[in-house]
Amino acid sequence: MGETEQPQATLPLDQWHRDHGGRMVAFAGYAMPVQYDGIMAEHLWTRENAGLFDVSHMGQLLIHGKDSDRALETLLPGDFSAQKDMKLKYSLLLADDGGIIDDLMATRRGDDFYVVVNGATKYGDIEVLQQGLPRDIVVDYMKQQALLALQGPRAVEVLDAIVPGVAELTFMEGRAFHALGQTLWISRSGYTGEDGFEISVPGNGAAALADAILDNPLARPVGLGARDSLRLEAGLPLYGHDIDRSTTPVMAGLTFAINKRRRAEGGFPGAARILGELDQGPVQKRIGLTIEGRQPVREGAVILDREGSEIGRITSGGHSPSLQRPIAMGYVAAALAEEGTALKIEQSGKLFDATVTPLPFVPHRYHRKQPGA
Amino acid sequence: MSLYFTKDHEWVEVDGDSATVGISDHAQQALGDIVFAEVPEAGRQVKKGDEAAVVESVKAASDVYAPVSGVVTHGNAALADDPALVNREPEGAGWFFKLTLTNPAELDGLMSENDYRAWLNTL
């Protein structure tokens, strides 16, 4: 029942996690904390107060060079030319067949783009970017930077007391701040569905920042376990599970990442297939499911229609601490993706009743810019 | 009454030819918050090593193996509505099932409590 995989590398906060009771497991090639006090308590704490996550395994890239916005548009379906300074955009690195190589956040910083990609895919992404972008566009992997996330309804009061001014940021906006004797790149973003921040900090200053945050009793450290249950409740796809090379942005319900001008003009990898799916609808769609009973269904479980034919698979599933019931995401034939559709799930020879449920399971509470403000 | 443990972190408390089976405190700590437990029904015949019960934490599902062969006499009904009882009292009220031993000689292959606790320290 223990975790047997040997971690390959340590992150800047490795000792800090151990000192705070983190249970370390191998994840994305690093030793990372899966939990401290317990997943359930950490999850609920984040929904009510402020949870501090170490996401330093993720790849922080700086892409610079002349016309980097236009260059990025050859690999990603976002409208980077029109992207405003200091604004974040969720985007997808696409393969030629329209499959998803990775999902990422890209922030314009003047002529450059600060891009955060997934930890397990970062080296492959860098290769794809270097090969796909013109030679005069440079991809810097900022591996000396740690990345922390402070998430939850009280995150703003905790962080603004340490870094005055962060409260002025709105959702999907970032900039540089100076605090604790260092430069911090802070954005109002995250992957829990809650208001909160992501903080890029030099690795050697990460522990001082984490300590300053935890000095406030409203903040507690939260591990990967609760990060997963929080993002599942928020309906957010996890790369390598809910999205991968075999899924397209349209199948995954991520069409908001394909901006209007790009739909009209195309010119991104897989555009023919993706624009066709936008027009005619995808064969399969990512859906949310609520499961009857108490037992969670997990990734890989088979989804059946009423006749018992396989129509898809579960890609993420588990117990929802906030809803106190099992929830899941998966793909099904588009005709059976309607809200309220009754389906069956088969796992280890057992059948479960499930109902197609709109995502997110738990409403997002982002700090969006007020209209007209 | 004697108490035995397995390397799969189950415990067996034996009283005559009747035995109670659960998972150890170490096991519940490793699993974390338990959200589901399924226990066998009375009358089911289990062989040593069979998957006899299921326990699921927020993160993952695990099987509970029968540490000895026998015929199940009781499943712990309390776990259906309160699976976290396994976290709170793993080596007490959070037991999984009781059975009548069909091959008591199998107990010889299990660890004593002292041996188990000593073995845990080597992991």
Q: Which domains does chain B have, with CATH numbers?
A: 2-120 (2.40.50.100)
Nearest-by-CA chain B residue for A3: B30
Are A249 and A259 contacting, i.e. CB atoms less than 8 angstroms apart?
Answer: no
- Residue A350 above 90 pLDDT? yes
Helices (H), strands (E): how many in chain B? 4, 10
CATH number assigned to the domain covering A1-281: 3.30.1360.120
The one-letter amino acid code at A166 reads V
Proportion of chain A above pLDDT 90, given as a percent: 96
Query: Quick check: A298 and B61 CB within 8 A?
Result: yes
Proportion of chain A above pLDDT 70, given as a percent: 97
Q: Mutate which of B33, B86, B88 to test chain A, going by most A C-beta atoms within 10 A?
A: B33
Q: Enumerate residues 197 to 226 of chain A having a beta carbon within 8 A of any beta carbon in chain B.
A: 225
Query: Quick check: A296 and B36 CB within 8 A?
Result: yes
Q: Which helix (H) or strand (E) holds A70?
A: helix A68-72
pLDDT given at position B123: 87
The one-letter amino acid code at A213 reads I
Average pLDDT over residues A290-319: 96
- Could you read off the pLDDT of A12-59 as tens digits, one per residue? 999 999 999 999 999 999 999 999 999 999 999 999 999 999 999 999
- Residue A343 above 90 pLDDT? yes
Q: Which residue among A1, A40, A225 places its CB closest to the CB of B9?
A: A1
Domain residue ranges of chain A, discontinuous segments joined by +:
1-281, 283-357
pLDDT given at position A3: 44
- Could you read off the pLDDT of A170-217 as tens digits, one per residue? 999 999 999 999 999 999 999 999 999 999 999 999 999 999 999 999
Query: Residue B81 burial by CB count (10 A; 0-12/13-18/19+): exposed, middle or buried?
Result: exposed
Helix, strand or coil, per DSSP, at residue B86: helix
Positive/negative CA dihedral, A67, A68, A74, A79: negative
Name every chain B residue with its beta carbon within 8 A of the beta carbon of A350: none
- Could you read off the pLDDT of A91-140 as tens digits, one per residue? 999 999 999 999 999 999 999 999 999 999 999 999 999 999 999 999 99
pLDDT given at position A239: 98
Topology annotation, domain A283-357: Elongation Factor Tu (Ef-tu); domain 3 (2.40.30)
pLDDT given at position A1: 40
- Could you read off the pLDDT of B23-64 as tens digits, one per residue? 999 999 999 999 999 999 999 999 999 999 999 999 889 999
Copy the structure tokens of residue A251. Answer: 């199948």
Are A109 and A17 contacting, i.e. CB atoms less than 8 angstroms apart?
Answer: no
ipTM value > 0.95: no
d(CA A276, CA A125): 26
- List beta partners, residue B71: B45, B100
CA dihedral A276, A280, A282, A283 (to 10 degrees): -120
Neighbours of A90 (CB within 10 A): 15
Question: How many interchain CB pairs under 8 A, A with B?
Answer: 48
Query: Quick check: B58 and A294 CB within 8 A?
Result: no
Helix, strand or coil, per DSSP, at residue A297: coil
